[in-house]
Amino acid sequence: MKNRFLSVAAIAAAVLLGSCATQTAPQQQEPQTGCTNPVLWTDIPDLSMLRVGDTYYMTSTTMHLNPGVPVMKSKDLSNWEIVSYCYDILGNQDETMLIGGKNTYGKGSWASCIRYVGGKYIVSTFDQVTDKTYFFVTDNIESGKWERHEFEPSLHDHTVVFEEDGRVYMINGNGRLTIREIKPDFSGIVDGTEKVLIEDAGLPAGGREQMMLNGEGSQMFKINGKYYLFNIVWPRGGMRTVVCHRADNLFGPYEGKVVFQDKGVAQGGLVDTPDGRWFAYLFGDRGGVGRIPYWVPVEWKDGWPVIGDANGKVPDTLALPKSKGLIPGIVDGDEFDGDKLKLVWQWNHNPVNELWSLSERKGFMRLKTDRTDTLFTQSRNMLTQRTFGPKCNGSVCLDASGLNDGDVAGLALLAGQFGYVGVVNEGGKKSIVMVDNMPDGEQTGGWPPKRGTQHVVASVPVAADVVYLKASCDFSRVDDDSQIGSHGVDTAEFYYSLDGKEWKGIGHTFKMVYMLDHFMGQRYALFYYSTKKAGGNADFDWYRVAY
């Protein structure tokens, strides 16, 4: 990509921190009720948001998936669609290519920061495999054409500040938060500028001795001349909590306080509406479906944000337009009859572009292999998209006539603890199988992960080449626990059909667990891999998704 840099003059021309500066005159509108929390019942963690005029943009973490750093757009905070990604891939290391038994599950690029400065959209992130920090710049956020800038080292969970004098600063850390100046062309850190900004970010909630997380996920906003720095903390024996520090000067001194604590909903920042209302965008860990967004109303008192409803809690409903659902903006079916994939899809790790095609057989997604694998999670070119709550179904039509001996293809629920329904060719005879790596006994997630080995749960011989496969997920809530683990029903059932009408269950109930080594909610995945001989193909006619 071109590596042109944004001039200091352009940065100084219009400095906006986060979403807090309105681009157009406020427009009065009647609040509409009907939007419910969680606003987006799907895995969208580490979100960063801003508003430009009457349009909101949001970025999020997708780690080991590519393309990466999705950009989502909304006109009303309720209804969202993916409009672009900041990059296709970040590097070609063995880990990102699933080579030699290596992978980058749970790593890749994490928390991003989105800004709008001088007519440019600027998104920054970092990557743990390349050990670099990245800036992506565009003047058309929906075109998908981004200028890329990078430098070492990787600065974890950072926030970026553009000052009126044209200088750029980055703040990050865990407990001890540091600030450093970034070169105006985003090529690196200005030597000698790093200093400690806040020594103990978790102190308002008890201090580092009482914390499991002591202040990370920094997000900075400048509102009415004051600087507000948001961080997540997690007191031992408690729940994730939002701490805010404020100062009159970027370099402090800062005073801090706990500004929100309910249901473990935390980490995020602030956004305002054209009619002058404020919301906090936060997320909560919710078991197998992942980390999901909540919007919480904000009032201002004595120069501090007061987050929550009248009782200081996460409200069940919001004075926003009713959501029309996640389909088709965030998740969607695909008939594979176009010349490119829909934006809802992401590859598991880097794709091998020579091994997939929408044109070799029109109307089909064809996956091919050029090597053998034995473990499902190390198979390349898995095509994934999100599962979602409270309940969802994903189904595919698969033509398995091109499978070689030892080949496996099908529909999976991809996470650290995975399950799938697929077709296996063994010696020219096909079977539909249900496979998972659930261990014996109860699995509750967490760290370190405890899982079983990949094994066949059930197998049914079939003579047909064309089969239909389905995975049905139930993420319905059963409690309000704030800890990592299973907080809903979090179960899935697998099905198959030979005519697409009459469905039969296969295998047992699959338990969907959030595991920290993958650090991601369950993903629907179309997959194909060879265990004996490479060179075959699997043709997916369509993928369909529904509540």
Predicted local confidence at residue 211, as pLDDT? 84
Half-sphere exposure at residue 488, Cβ-oriented, CA atoms within 13 angstroms: 26
Half-sphere exposure at residue 361, Cβ-oriented, CA atoms within 13 angstroms: 15
Q: Is 441 exposed, middle or buried (0-12, 13-18, 19+ CB in 10 A)?
A: exposed
Q: CATH number of the domain that 247 lies in? A: 2.115.10.20
Instruction: Please give the structure tokens belonging to residue 108.
Output: 């890749």
Predicted local confidence at residue 440, as pLDDT? 76
Cα separation, 68 vs 86, in Å, equals 6
In a domain, 274, yes or no: yes
312 and 350 housed in the same domain? no
Give, in degrees to the nearest 5, the angle at Cα 173 between 170 and 177.
Answer: 75
193 and 293 housed in the same domain? yes
439 and 370 housed in the same domain? yes
Per-residue pLDDT of the chain (547 residues; tens, 9 = 90+): 333 333 333 333 333 334 333 322 223 333 334 799 999 999 999 999 999 999 999 999 999 999 999 999 999 999 999 999 999 999 999 999 999 999 999 999 999 999 999 999 999 999 999 999 999 999 999 987 999 999 999 999 999 999 999 999 999 999 999 999 999 999 999 999 999 999 999 999 998 888 888 899 999 999 999 999 999 999 998 999 999 999 999 999 999 999 999 999 999 999 999 999 999 999 999 999 999 999 999 999 999 999 999 999 999 999 999 999 999 999 999 999 999 999 999 999 999 999 999 999 999 999 999 999 999 999 999 999 999 999 999 999 999 999 999 999 999 999 999 999 999 999 999 999 999 999 876 666 666 667 789 999 999 999 999 999 999 999 998 665 544 444 689 999 999 999 999 999 999 999 999 998 899 999 999 999 999 999 999 999 999 999 9
Amino acid at position 366, single letter: R
Predicted local confidence at residue 208, as pLDDT? 83
Q: CATH number of the domain that 431 lies in? A: 2.60.120.200
- Its pTM stands at 0.91
In a domain, 366, yes or no: yes
354 and 279 housed in the same domain? no
In a domain, 515, yes or no: yes
- Determine contact, residues 522/395, Cβ cutoff 8 Å: no
Which residue in the block uniquely carries the two structure tokens 């400690």?
196
- Contacts of 350-357 spanning 24+ positions with Cβ under 8 A: 350/66, 350/89, 350/92, 350/96, 350/97, 350/98, 351/66, 351/380, 351/381, 352/97, 352/380, 352/381, 355/380, 355/381, 356/381, 356/383
In a domain, 3, yes or no: no
264 and 400 housed in the same domain? no
* Nearby residues of 193 by Cβ (< 8 Å), 6 or more positions away: 179, 180, 181
273 and 390 housed in the same domain? no
In a domain, 335, yes or no: no
Predicted local confidence at residue 488, as pLDDT? 82
In a domain, 32, yes or no: no
In a domain, 164, yes or no: yes
Boundaries of domain holding 171: 8-24+43-318
In a domain, 326, yes or no: no
91 and 236 housed in the same domain? yes
410 and 531 housed in the same domain? yes
Predicted local confidence at residue 4, as pLDDT? 33
538 and 435 housed in the same domain? yes
238 and 372 housed in the same domain? no
48 and 130 housed in the same domain? yes
Q: What is the dihedral of CA 35, 36, 41, 45, to 10 degrees?
A: 80
350 and 261 housed in the same domain? no
Per the structure, the count of domains in the chain is 2
Predicted local confidence at residue 447, as pLDDT? 63
